[in-house]
Amino acid sequence: MKKPLLQSVLVLLLAFVAGSAVAQVGTRAYAPENLRQLSVQDQTRVISLEYSEQARGRRIPDDQLRFYLDQVNRSNWTFSRIKQDIAQSLGGNNGGWNPNPPSNGNTILCESKSGDAKRCTPPWRGQSRLVRQLSNSRCEEGATWSSQDGLITVWKGCRGEFAQGTATGGTIRCESTDGRGRTCRTPWNGHSRLTRQLSSTACVEGRSWQSQQGQVYVGNGCRAEFGPRVGSGGGSSNYSVTCNSEDNRRKTCAYDPRQGRPILLQQISNTSCREGYSWGYTGTQVWVDRGCRGRFGPR
C-alpha cells in the first residue's frame, strides 16, 4: 500500500512544479514595441518585469527604472532597445548599471548630494540644458536646477548631465520671483508669446502673464522665456492645434508637419505645460499629458 501512495505523492509534486512553470511563463514581459502606447504605470510594470526576468528575480534599481521611463517618453526608446540595454547592464559593470557617462568635454555632471545646493562651472559660456537625469529626485528647471551665463546650480537631490544650451534667438527671459510682479522690456515692438515655461507655477496668459507693445508682464511666480508673436514666416501664421489632456490622461492630436515644428503658443490649463514632460511632438502629432491643455502652432 505504501508504494501506490508514494507514486501518488510524486505525481502531485510534478503537477505542482509544472503548474508553477506555466505560471512563470505566463508572467513574461510581453509589450508593444512602442511603450508610449501604455500608461506610465504599465510602462513601469513591463520594464520591471523584463529586468526581473533577465536578472533572475532581482529588482530593478530605482534610478535605472527612472532613466528608462525618461528615455521612453522623451527619446522614443522602443521595448527592444530597453531589453538590449538591460542585457548590457547585466553583462558588464559587475552587474551594475552606468547610464553612459559624459565624454569629450561636451557635457558636465552636476550633483546635489544630501539635498544641498551645488554650483558647477561648465567649460562653455552661456546657458545650459539638461540632457540626462541621473537621480531618483526629479530634475526640473526652476524647481531643482537653474542655469545662468557660465554657471549651473542644482539642489534638492537633482543629479544630472548638462550640455551647452541651444541658441534661443530672439527670446527674452522674464521672471516673477517670490510671487511679485515684474515688467520686462522686449527688443521687438509688437506683442509677445510664451515660448518656454521655466517655473513649476503655471504661466497662463491673462492670469500670470500678459503682453503689451514692447513689454511683457509676469506675476504669481511665473518664470518663462518669451519671443515675438508670430505675424508672418514659414507655414501659415493662422495654423494652430488645440490639444487637451482631460483627467490627466495622455491625448494625441493630428498636426500638419508641413507647417514646421510646433511650439506652445498658448497655455490654456492651470496645470503647467512643459515640453518633454507634459507635451511633445512626434512628427505628425502633438501629444499632451498630465493635465496640460494648450494651443500649438509653428514659430
pLDDT (0 to 100) of residue 18: 37
Residues 41 and 298: their CA atoms lie apart, in Å, by 32
For 92-126, the pLDDT digits (tens) are 443 444 444 444 457 888 988 888 888 898 887 76
Residues 132 and 196: their CA atoms lie apart, in Å, by 19
The mean pLDDT value for 67-75 works out to 78
Q: How many CB atoms lie within 10 A of CB 167?
A: 9
Q: Does residue 17 have a pLDDT over 70?
A: no
Q: How many CB atoms lie within 10 A of CB 216?
A: 23
pLDDT (0 to 100) of residue 245: 92
The percent of the chain in helix, strand and coil, each rounded to the nearest 5, is 30, 30, 45
Instruction: Measure CA of the first residue to CA of the last residue in the chain; give whole Å.
Output: 87
- In the numeric block, the cell 502652432 is attached to 297
Q: Are 133 and 67 in contact (CB under 8 A)?
A: yes
120 CA to centre of own chain:
23
Closest C-alpha to 229, from 209, 245, 211: 211
Domain spans in the chain, listed from the N-terminal domain onward: 25-95, 107-164, 172-298
The mean pLDDT value for 256-280 works out to 82
Q: Does residue 282 have a pLDDT over 90?
A: no
Torsions phi, psi of 286, nearest 5? -100, 135
Residues 127 and 140: their CA atoms lie apart, in Å, by 15
Instruction: Answer yes or no: pTM beyond 0.75.
Output: no
Q: Which DSSP string do the residues of 163-221 spell out, in sequence order?
A: EEPPP--S-EEEE-GGG--EEEE-SSSS-EEEEEE-SSS---BTTTEEEETTEEEE-TT
For 182-221, the pLDDT digits (tens) are 888 887 767 788 888 888 888 888 788 888 877 888 999 9
Residues 183 and 169: their CA atoms lie apart, in Å, by 20
